[in-house]
Structure 1
Amino acid sequence: MSNSGEAMSDLICFSHLRWHFVWQRPQHLLSRASQDRRVWFVEEPQTAEGEPRLEIVPVNPQLSVVTPQLPLRLDEAAQRLALQGLMESWWRTRAFDMPLTWYYTPMAWAFSSTLPAGVVVYDCMDELSLFQGAPPALRALEQQLLARADLVFTGGRSLYEAKKHQHKSVHAFPSSVDVGHFAAARHWRGARPLDQDGVPRPRIGFFGVIDERLDIGLLRGLAAVRPDYHFVMLGPTAKVDPASLPSAPNVHYLGMKGYDELPAYLAGWDVAMLPFARNDATRFISPTKTPEYLAAGRPVVSTSIADVVEPYGERGFVRIADDPWTFARAIDNALADGPERLQRVDTFLSTMSWDRTWQGMQALIEMASRPVAPTGRPGSTHAGPTDPVFAGPAA
């Protein structure tokens, strides 16, 4: 939180993710931002009958979700013009005074680039251009956004390395964790989820979006080589045909769960897993669930995702394996883990929090908002270190 005592400008976020979907980085950060300032979370448009309009729904007194409603059958150019008109009208109606604008998707730059803004932040949490179905215009719009942005934050070390030469002020803020929320799973005293309670043990669990990042072949192989282990999959399915997912008596798809429900499910797992494919979509990911699993006290097995291998794999907090046989053996070993592992994990996690991440970001935003100094030193809109600023312990 800021100690300046001054009224802080509104924050307007443009996101490719919806607020009421999986609770992840945008929700963690922007709910904290709303403690100090008014936050408007602008989602991608939905189709609706009638004239173009904005649907604005409060989440709390300081944060609202803004969803453009556009008529069906508008082509890309017409959508862009409609969105630009809606944003310009809304800007005038609300009399926004050089708000802080925050981008998760460069696609929003196509209709928002002319809006009067103060500090512009690009919080790059994924390399979206590598995702399945990425719009062809995304790369060019990202370059335009980078040319205007005052600050670029990245969701992990790999993304930092990919972006650090593309802008003067790039800062790495890897995925953090609400330790207290997930640590409740270690000594759970609440009700046990009914849909999981009947699943035999040992239970090997995963939560997250089930999409092209999941290694379907690995999951199918694990179910086959360890028929006595039961694999619990929590989360919505996106961009994959549910019929293509492994179907076996020991694979259980329990659907999407709320953030508040996750500790109860984790409490009933023996091992947590990250069965990610190694493809373009996962090349730069920094899974938020890694420290969340660890905070819950679960042993973790993951494929060799770069931002999991370093720091978690190299410190011995997460076992790394990529094929069904070695992954299964890693699960075998994880089931034998003793409590001594948790002490080292807890020491590592003690320096990580979303509060700390937001405070670090806020400090850089305040620095970027100062007038440009004649020396070009602190006070420049691109001030701040060019080396990564990490939310967790240094490597």
Structure 2
Amino acid sequence: MDNTTFFTDDFTKRDIVCFAQQGWNFTSHRPQHLLKRFARGFRVFYVESPTFHANSDRYDITLTDDQVIVVAPHLQDDDTRPDVTTRWRELLIRLFNEEKIVSYIFWYYSPQALRVSTHFTPDLVIYDCMDRPAEHDQHFAELTDCEHELFNFADAVFTSGKKVYEAARKLHENTFLFPNSIDRDHFATARTFKFDPPDQAAFERPRFGYIGEIDHRIDFELLAAVARKRPRWQFILIGAVINIHSSKLPNFRNFHYLGTKRYEDLPHYISGWDVAMIPFAHNEYTRFINPTKTGEYLAAGKPVISAPITDVIRPYGISGLVSIAGTVNEFIKVAEELLAQQEDERQRWLDKVDTYLTGQSWNKTWGEMMGLIGTMLSKKTLQHQFGEEDALHEGKHDLVDA
């Protein structure tokens, strides 16, 4: 598909203003993959959540290598001040004035950003829904209220996985499934690397690796139990520790926390593993999750053991591409089977993986989104034009009747 055909003159006169959940440099997930592609034809403003205790209310702007304009708001004092929303809204107004943002699309990842943006008049509103509020979250009530308002405000809802799609389509009639995809060529380079990064090179084998946030989604009890039963197995976790105290993390000799790594370097680390993991717990935080890492691990050529996550079972588990394990004994059994695979058996599995991944890419997802957005904008333009004509005709009738 030639995606440049979507960039008509009217189309590219609009900007995209994205209200983000996380900082641009925090990780490289769905928002980064999509928005850097949109930045090929639009000005894209990636508005992060505000930070506090600044000397003055201000925003900083940086331009990424992919031409995404990252906006970082900074507010004085802390988030308990009663005028926080007002001051953040004023910063947005200043941004729109100074950057001459006149015709624009709103793109939401953060429902809470609705508090500071409903007074604007976007040409189109997209809610790219990757998850739903978790009942155990301390801000559950606020998040639920904001999301409900966002469903009412949005023209369309995009969803990242089957599970969240099934929930969202009950709340918005224009809900579309755009599953998380992969940067296949990038991760496929892991199949040819012949050396380990220095901070991983000394670990023995077999190695079980994980990349992603290290937080309440991970089943630490399961991993700790497996580590005790198989003390020679090495567990490598790459990512930032988020919202969990380090004392809660397994502290065994065969556990290795390597911190965050550059997206460019991830294939180097995955290359040195024997098995990749998605060791998520079964809780409210993982109910709607669709891990982008599933396809990335597979593109890297590594066998995968995953917890029974709905959007991993469908389609990867039922297709025989990913092994599903929800208990300690299941994990050990599946892991030992994978480690014992012969080369010809592994190659047959890898051929199956490559067949399945053929044609999947973020470029394809982006192109399909572009087509739908163009259609929606055209419809709204026509509705607006016909609406004005109808109003004009009604006015003429009123004059005749008078």
Q: Are 2:341 and 1:324 aligned? A: no
Q: Distance in 1 between matches of 2:324 and 2:368?
A: 30
- Equivalent residues in 2 for 1:363-374, closer than 5 Å: 363-372=371-380
SS in 2 for 1:365: helix
Alpha-carbon contact 1:223-1:250 (below 8 Å) kept? yes
Q: CA 1:74 to 1:199, structure 2 compared with 1: closer, same or farther past 3 Å?
A: closer
Alpha-carbon contact 1:37-1:62 (below 8 Å) kept? no
What stretches of structure 1 of length at least 5 have no aligned partner?
381-395
CA shift, 1:146, in A, is 1.0
Q: Are 2:365 and 1:357 aligned? A: yes
Q: Distance in 2 between matches of 1:192 and 1:230?
A: 15
Q: Over residues 308-348 of structure 1, what are the superposed CA-to-partner deviations in whole Å (9 max), with x where a residue is unaligned?
A: 01100000101111111110111111113321101110011
- Equivalent of 1:80, from 54, 70, 85? 85
Alpha-carbon contact 2:36-2:66 (below 8 Å) kept? no
CA shift, 1:63, in A, is 1.4
Alpha-carbon contact 1:15-1:42 (below 8 Å) kept? yes
User: Residue 236 of structure 2 aligns with which residue?
Assistant: 232
CA shift, 1:375, in A, is 9.5
Aligned AA (1:263): P
- Equivalent of 1:54, from 55, 59, 62? 59
SS in 1 for 2:200: helix
- Equivalent of 1:287, from 286, 291, 304? 291
CA shift, 1:133, in A, is 3.5
Aligned AA (1:284): F
Q: Over residues 172-196 of structure 1, what are the superposed CA-to-partner deviations in whole Å (9 max), with x where a residue is unaligned?
A: 111110110001011114x520111
SS in 2 for 1:282: coil
Q: CA 1:375 to 1:357, structure 2 compared with 1: closer, same or farther past 3 Å?
A: same
- Equivalent of 1:266, from 256, 265, 270? 270
Q: Over residues 209-258 of structure 1, what are the superposed CA-to-partner deviations in whole Å (9 max), with x where a residue is unaligned?
A: 00000001011011011112111111110011111111111111111111
Alpha-carbon contact 1:206-1:232 (below 8 Å) kept? yes
Q: CA 1:283 to 1:61, structure 2 compared with 1: closer, same or farther past 3 Å?
A: closer
CA shift, 1:9, in A, is 1.0
Alpha-carbon contact 1:299-1:335 (below 8 Å) kept? no
> How large is the RMSD of aligned CA atoms in angstroms?
1.9
User: Residue 94 of structure 2 aligns with which residue?
Assistant: 89
Alpha-carbon contact 1:129-1:139 (below 8 Å) kept? no
- Equivalent of 1:37, from 42, 52, 55? 42
Alpha-carbon contact 1:8-1:36 (below 8 Å) kept? no
User: Residue 390 of structure 2 aligns with which residue?
Assistant: none
SS in 2 for 1:128: coil
CA shift, 1:372, in A, is 4.1
Q: Distance in 1 between matches of 2:184 and 2:364?
A: 12
Alpha-carbon contact 1:44-1:67 (below 8 Å) kept? yes
Aligned AA (2:298): L
Q: Distance in 2 between matches of 1:75 and 1:348?
A: 50
> TM-score scaled by structure 2?
0.90
Rg larger in 1 or in 2? 2
Aligned AA (2:46): F
Alpha-carbon contact 2:234-2:255 (below 8 Å) kept? yes
Structure with bigger RCO (C-alpha 8 Å, 6+ apart): 1
Q: Distance in 1 between matches of 2:24 and 2:382?
A: 41
Q: Distance in 1 between matches of 2:381 and 2:31?
A: 32
- Equivalent of 2:256, from 252, 255, 258? 252
Aligned AA (1:5): T
Tell me the number of residue pairs that the alignment of Structure 1 and Structure 2 aligns: 377
- Equivalent of 2:8, from 5, 8, 24? 5
CA shift, 1:204, in A, is 0.7
- Equivalent residues in 2 for 1:4-23, closer than 5 Å: 4-6=7-9, 7-23=12-28
Q: CA 1:316 to 1:114, structure 2 compared with 1: closer, same or farther past 3 Å?
A: same
CA shift, 1:54, in A, is 1.0
Q: Distance in 2 between matches of 1:358 and 1:171?
A: 13
CA shift, 1:76, in A, is 5.4
CA shift, 1:165, in A, is 1.5
Q: Distance in 1 between matches of 2:220 and 2:191?
A: 29
Alpha-carbon contact 1:184-1:296 (below 8 Å) kept? yes
Aligned AA (2:100): A
CA shift, 1:109, in A, is 0.2
User: Residue 127 of structure 2 aligns with which residue?
Assistant: 122
CA shift, 1:2, in A, is 3.7
Q: Are 2:113 and 1:112 aligned? A: no
> TM-score scaled by structure 1?
0.91
Q: Distance in 1 between matches of 2:140 and 2:13?
A: 34
- Equivalent residues in 2 for 1:293-312, closer than 5 Å: 293-312=297-316
Select between 283-292 and 329-338 the one with higher mean Cα deviation.
329-338
SS in 2 for 1:369: helix
User: Residue 352 of structure 2 aligns with which residue?
Assistant: 344
Aligned AA (1:66): V
- Equivalent of 1:313, from 310, 317, 323? 317
Aligned AA (2:69): S
Give the structure with the higher percent helix.
2
Q: Distance in 2 between matches of 1:25 and 1:61?
A: 15
Q: CA 1:169 to 1:256, structure 2 compared with 1: closer, same or farther past 3 Å?
A: same
Structure 1 residue ranges (4+ consecutive) displaced by more than 6 angstroms after TM superposition: 373-376
Aligned AA (1:324): V
SS in 2 for 1:113: coil
Q: Percent identity?
A: 38
SS in 1 for 2:253: coil
Q: Distance in 2 between matches of 1:372 and 1:63?
A: 26
Q: Distance in 2 between matches of 1:181 and 1:100?
A: 30
